[in-house]
Chain A
Amino acid sequence: MYQLAKVDKKFPGVHALKAVDFQIGRGEIVGLVGENGAGKSTLMKVIYGAYQPDGGQIIMDGKTVRFANPRAAMEQGIGMVFQEQSLIANLTVMENIFLGYEQQFVRFGVINWKAMATAASAQLAKVRLTIDPATVTSALSFAQRQLVELAKVLTLEERVQGNLVILLDEPTSVLAEDEVKLLFKLVRELTTRASFIFVSHRMDEVMELSDRIYVMKDGAVVDVVNRGEKTVEQIQHKMVGRNVDKEYYREHRQKPFDATKELVKLEGVSLPGRINDISLTLHAGEVLCLVGTEGSGREAILRTIYGMRTPLRGKVSLKGQEISRFSPRNAVERGVGYVPRERKVEGIVAGMTVYENMTLSQMGRHSSAGILRIAGERALARDWISKLSIKASSELADCGNLSGGNQQKVVLAKWRSGGSDIMLLDHPTRGLDIGAKEDVYDMIRDMSDAGVGIVLVADTLEEAIGLSHSIIVVKDGAIQKRFACEPGAKPSLFDLLHYMI
């Protein structure tokens, strides 16, 4: 019922979509996978009307259509559920749901809030969300926001006659395991009224949910896989055009850590409402993984070690010295480096060059009396660009123009070049494609070999198990269980899940 025929899209210097054929039937769930830059997001933008194709046709119910903008596409029943955080945080849930479509509630120029609240509640019921529609959006959890996004798109049901096509762009990236299950259940129920296009980096989820999977590479559809036809490895092979290393998480490179050298020691650390009585030790060369659901306190532990939060009770020691004044500056001086989850917000400064970003945390080392030695900075940056094979035209390139994987390498280089030997990594592989992920895994092993202690919050449980020497399961701010993870004797997914939920 919805079809793309030989759709082409070109940008200056990039052939983003090459004669893409795509179709989705009534009530179908279609997966869309591909590495970063394969053309997934361009294809989605064409589908929901943000881009107009340069060639080919969009066919709906046998008729050729052309959307001038997303609103025109919406009027034909095509809705987009955006990734996290596209709701306006300071508006209420109902205002967000009916943003741009308030007119139906307006009488004599005044909005009838009661009518809007009733209508919003009806939409929220569709996604099984029982919250007051007058709640301010910022008060909701990530999972709730994702469902509100879905509810917002489902308002199309009343506005549009005929079939709906709903795009889900990485809907699970901020959700915990059980929330993902809930979302999938909901999507399956809604197939009676709509078709879904599901885009995700998580292969297992795509495989589980989709009736059919389109595999994209370099702007073209390289394969269409029906449910159960192929394994994850076969699809990944198509995506990257090569075999994914069997030793994906570099387990063969995992060596025992130096248990005599303590880098970080937390003793009974508590932050009211976030973490409670946390004790842990990080040794040189150890990868310590914090596992838990969203909001379980993993981030609070990282931020306490980094000095961004001051614990109410307990002791934090870095390299044997107890910390009395908590500030990032203090932590950085003791060799702590922090790679935050939001790369765009806390990882790199877009607009500054690669070398400026790398030396941001260690300018004192490259200056005397406040005057910088720029030649030295640039030499250091050149050195690390080749060491980590960062794809940048030179150390003078704008960091904001690099790909996600290369930005992440710059962030890691920033701390490593400054001699940090306690690294806090929060979702270091989030949003990276497979090749870039493997680079990050290699870097983690390299750092371990060099005696760096790493506290890791991983993107997936498999990643956590594969990479770590030790795993600590956190739930509701408290430590549930510790696992040792020697190669060959690693805990299973089930072992961890048992303590997480």
Chain B
Amino acid sequence: MDLTGRFTREDAIRWAPLMVLIALVILFTAINPQFLSLRNFARITVAAAPALMVAVGVTFIILMGSIDLSMEGVLSFTAVLFCYAFVKFGGTLAAGGWIALPLILLVGAVVGMINGLIHVKLRIPSFMASLAMGFVATGATVLLTGGGIVKIDDDVFRGLLTYRLLGFPLMVYVAGIFVLIAWFIQTRTTLGRNFYAVGGGEELAHASGLNVKRVRVAGFTLAGVFYAVAAILQVAKLGQAESVTGANFMFISITSVVVGGVALWGGVGGVWNALVGVLIVNVINNGMVVIGLPDYVQDGMLGLLVIIAVVLSTDRRAVTVVK
């Protein structure tokens, strides 16, 4: 709102993604009232939780005006490594499998950091560096598994999916907590402020005495941690990991971030935009199943709806040139 309390165009842009989300919910409910049920919402959030973690991670990168395309490889890699570690340390959470949790967050951080260092030190565009890094990680995963599947069979760990609180599985709350952590980093820490400064004006940030390179590496490291969280949630959901565990996360996460209103040129948006964006994409996905669209048109529809959502929820007027 401006000083007079009127609803301005800026407000409209800020709230557009949320409006799109509400409109979609109303639309699908109108077609099939079953859509608006606790059961179905729990289903949507479970599907969304791992993608949300990836989206939040990549949001930090996009805020800096860079892009990270390594998520699929990193997710598969950390998921498989997590399963191996979990089994190695006892096979159940109680027996020592819990060690795998912090360990894999650390692995995510290291992989992200390497990604960032390659980008910054070798001066390779983030687009190229991260894409390559993703492939390296996928390759490492295939080497580790030999193309096989690693299973986890621990009821306590799977409780993330099976234990429900107020109708929602535990993993939804875990994802929620990590969103809050991300939000805290974004608004309350120097690192978060630095992301905006680098994205809004890299030369200025440099001229203000910020260590831009360090900020970039920190961003990629942080993203790596969130990919690892996504991997843990994905394993909790499926009970297993393999070299294709991370498949499709690239499209879903980046689409979500953009639909949610984070500008690809950096400096605009944040964690809440990522959250709304992920929900929009997952509501579309789920809604099409609920209203009974045939399988073979769902992918095409998703693409179309994403384009419409981007049109409605992003401010393209400020951008004179679209690349």
- Interface positions of A (Cβ within 8 A of B): 306, 308, 328-329, 331-333, 338, 340, 345-352, 356, 360-361, 363-364, 367, 370-372, 374, 393, 414
Is B207 within 8 A of A338, CB to CB? yes
- Known: A329-B211, A350-B200, A352-B196. Is A360-B190 also a contact (CB below 8 A)? no
Closest to B189 in A: A370
- Known: A332-B208, A361-B209. Is A367-B203 also a contact (CB below 8 A)? no
14 extra interchain contacts, Cβ-Cβ under 8 A, other than A350-B200, A363-B190, A371-B188?
A: A346-B204, A348-B204, A349-B204, A351-B196, A351-B268, A356-B193, A356-B196, A360-B197, A360-B205, A361-B209, A361-B210, A372-B189, A374-B188, A414-B208
Is B189 within 8 A of A349, CB to CB? no
Is A345 within 8 A of B203, CB to CB? yes
Cα A328 to Cα B204 with chains together (Å):
11
The B contact surface, by secondary structure, is: helix
Cα A340 to Cα B200 with chains together (Å):
17
Cα A351 to Cα B190 with chains together (Å):
17
B185-204 interface bits toward A, Cβ cutoff 8 Å, 1 = contact, 0 = none: 00111110110110011011
Cα A371 to Cα B203 with chains together (Å):
24
Cα A356 to Cα B208 with chains together (Å):
12
- Interface positions of B (Cβ within 8 A of A): 3, 187-191, 193-194, 196-197, 200-201, 203-211, 267-268
Cα A159 to Cα B24 with chains together (Å):
53
Cα A243 to Cα B203 with chains together (Å):
39
Instruction: Identify which of A332, A340, A374 contacts B209 (C-beta below 8 A).
Output: A332
Is A328 within 8 A of B209, CB to CB? yes
Chain A residues within 8 Å of B207, by CB: 306, 308, 328, 338, 340, 346
Is B267 within 8 A of A351, CB to CB? yes
Cα A306 to Cα B3 with chains together (Å):
39
- Known: A352-B196, A363-B193, A371-B188. Is A333-B201 also a contact (CB below 8 A)? no
State the Cβ distance, B216 to closest chain A Cβ, in Å. Answer: 15
Chain B residues within 8 Å of A349, by CB: 196-197, 200-201, 204-205, 267
Cα A308 to Cα B268 with chains together (Å):
28
Is A346 within 8 A of B3, CB to CB? no
Instruction: Identify which of B190, B200, B205 contacts A364 (C-beta below 8 A).
Output: B190
Is B204 within 8 A of A347, CB to CB? yes
Chain A residues within 8 Å of B210, by CB: 329, 360-361
State the Cβ distance, A231 to closest chain B Cβ, in Å. Answer: 40
Cα A364 to Cα B196 with chains together (Å):
16
The winner among A340, A360, A364, A371 for most chain B CB atoms within 10 A is A360
Cα A348 to Cα B187 with chains together (Å):
19
Cα A351 to Cα B14 with chains together (Å):
13
User: Can you report 28 residue pairs joining A to B where beta carbons are below 8 Å apart?
Assistant: A306-B207, A308-B207, A328-B206, A328-B209, A329-B209, A332-B208, A333-B209, A345-B203, A347-B204, A348-B201, A349-B201, A349-B205, A350-B201, A351-B196, A352-B196, A356-B193, A360-B193, A360-B197, A360-B204, A360-B205, A364-B190, A367-B190, A370-B190, A370-B191, A371-B188, A371-B189, A372-B190, A374-B188
Cα A464 to Cα B231 with chains together (Å):
62
The winner among B188, B204, B205, B267 for most chain A CB atoms within 10 A is B204
Pairs A-B, 9 closest by C-beta atoms: A332-B209, A349-B200, A361-B208, A349-B201, A329-B209, A363-B190, A346-B207, A360-B208, A328-B209
Cα A346 to Cα B206 with chains together (Å):
8
Chain B residues within 8 Å of A328, by CB: 206-209
Chain B residues within 8 Å of A345, by CB: 201, 203-204
Chain B residues within 8 Å of A333, by CB: 209
Chain B residues within 8 Å of A331, by CB: 209
